């Protein structure tokens, strides 16, 4: 098995020249590569050595490639290619996004201004809706899976990444087995109550996660507290989220914004917004008149 963390300089499958490592996580290493057939830069995610030997993990990666490849939208990072090498590398190739991870942006700034937050929420919602229309639920939406990039127009956009835990709402027995560990593999801080309980999920679970992300962008923290992961999970199952005015009284956000966030974070999915664009639109409409510009024009730009 090759040394997955030191692949710089190798050429994979006579096509992808590995330039340098740009990140790593518990399941994979990410490299900047050059596609020798086009000369364009791409990102390559290489499954870690232990998972490369795990048939379920390889199947999950294949499913990520298949699902994310089907969601073609400017606010979704789609998968272009999946491959296996003779010496044991399992990898996927996707567009290389230059920018800043949303989690890093929020940590660096402490909190993100309302106008920028609304714009990022609308971008994320548009990307999620493209997936939800194909009956695909992300299941692991979190700030680490959102990239802030600057487009050719000079405007920053949010792009949803990593559909590794994504799941079709209509799944057969084989897919059910592959996603049975979803609760373990997901990120507890951003899981909806129904995901914590192991219930059937739909797009409203992603709406809940987007609501949590929005609160963190606006305040720099999450609306639930706990000394451990278990306490945080129990808080979401039993308690109402802490009001923003209590978390950050200095922000003076409109009360209407807080009402929108509380609805998105309802424990019962039936009490939330039915779709991600509905949540984004409500958030935009809740802002003070003139704070974000013409509401109708902005909504049309994002959602048509």
Whole-angstrom Cα Rg for the chain:
20
Identify the three-state secondary structure at position 174: helix
How far apart are alpha carbons 74 and 181 in whole angstroms? 30
One domain for residues 209 and 236: yes
One domain for residues 21 and 145: no
Identify the three-state secondary structure at position 159: strand
Two tokens at 283?
């958030």
148 vs 251, more confident: 148
Mean local confidence (pLDDT), 61-84: 80
Identify the three-state secondary structure at position 145: helix
242 vs 289, more confident: 242
Percentage of the chain surpassing pLDDT 90? 46
The whole-number pLDDT of residue 165 equals: 47
Catalytic residue among 123, 140, 162, 206: 140
The whole-number pLDDT of residue 48 equals: 78
Total tally of structural domains belonging to the chain = 2
pLDDT tens for 158-204 read 999 876 545 544 333 333 333 333 333 456 789 999 999 889 899 99
The answer to whether the beta carbons of residues 100 and 148 sit under 8 Å apart is: yes
* DSSP annotation of 271: G
Q: Which of 40, 34, 90 is nearest to 62 (CA)?
A: 90
140: annotated active-site residue: yes
One domain for residues 168 and 151: yes
Mean local confidence (pLDDT), 222-241: 86
The answer to whether the beta carbons of residues 185 and 178 sit under 8 Å apart is: no
- 272 Cβ neighbours under 8 A, 6+ residues apart: 204, 207, 208, 211, 263, 264, 265, 266, 279
pLDDT tens for 283-295 read 999 986 555 555 4
Count of beta carbons in the 10 Å neighbourhood of residue 180:
12
One domain for residues 178 and 291: yes
* DSSP annotation of 268: S
The answer to whether the beta carbons of residues 47 and 66 sit under 8 Å apart is: no
Last residue of a domain, one of 55, 70, 95: 95
One domain for residues 185 and 223: yes
Last residue of a domain, one of 71, 95, 119: 95
Last residue of a domain, one of 65, 95, 125: 95
Mean local confidence (pLDDT), 86-92: 84
The whole-number pLDDT of residue 210 equals: 98
pLDDT tens for 205-218 read 999 999 999 999 99
- 202 Cβ neighbours under 8 A, 6+ residues apart: 132, 137, 169, 269
Q: Domain span at residue 272?
A: 99-303
* Burial class of residue 81, CB neighbours in 10 A (0-12, 13-18, 19+): middle
Residue 221 predicted with pLDDT over 70: yes
pLDDT tens for 16-46 read 999 999 888 767 788 999 999 999 999 998 8
Check which CATH number belongs to the domain holding 75 and give it.
3.30.200.20
């Amino acid at each position: 098995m090759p040394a997955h963390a030191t692949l710089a300089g190798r050429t994979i499958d006579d096509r992808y020249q590995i330039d340098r490592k740009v990140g790593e996580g518990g399941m994979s290493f990410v490299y900047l590569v050059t596609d020798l057939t086009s000369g364009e830069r791409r990102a390559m995610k290489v499954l870690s050595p232990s998972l490369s030997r795990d048939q379920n993990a390889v199947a999950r990666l294949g499913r990520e490639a298949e699902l994310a490849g089907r969601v073609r939208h400017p606010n979704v990072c789609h998968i272009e290619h999946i491959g296996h090498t003779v010496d044991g590398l399992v990898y996927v190739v996707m567009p290389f996004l230059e920018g800043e991870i949303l989690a890093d942006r929020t940590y660096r700034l402490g909190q993100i201004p309302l106008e920028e937050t609304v714009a990022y929420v609308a971008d994320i919602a548009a990307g999620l809706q493209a997936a939800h229309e194909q009956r695909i639920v992300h299941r692991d939406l979190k700030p680490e899976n959102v990239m802030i990039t600057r487009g050719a127009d000079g405007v920053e956009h949010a792009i949803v990444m990593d559909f590794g835990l994504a799941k079709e709402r209509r799944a057969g027995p084989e897919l059910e087995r592959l996603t049975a560990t979803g609760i373990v593999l997901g990120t507890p801080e951003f899981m909806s109550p129904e995901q914590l309980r192991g219930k059937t999920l739909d797009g409203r679970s992603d709406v809940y996660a987007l609501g949590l992300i929005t609160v963190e962008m606006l305040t720099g923290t999450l609306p639930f507290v706990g000394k451990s992961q278990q306490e945080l999970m129990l808080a979401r199952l039993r308690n109402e989220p802490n009001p923003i005015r209590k978390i950050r009284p200095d922000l003076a956000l409109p009360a209407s914004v807080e009402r929108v966030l509380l609805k998105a974070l309802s424990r019962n999915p039936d009490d939330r917004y039915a779709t991600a664009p509905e949540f984004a639109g409500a958030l935009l409409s809740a802002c003070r008149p003139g704070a974000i510009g013409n509401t109708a024009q902005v909504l049309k730009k994002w959602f048509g």
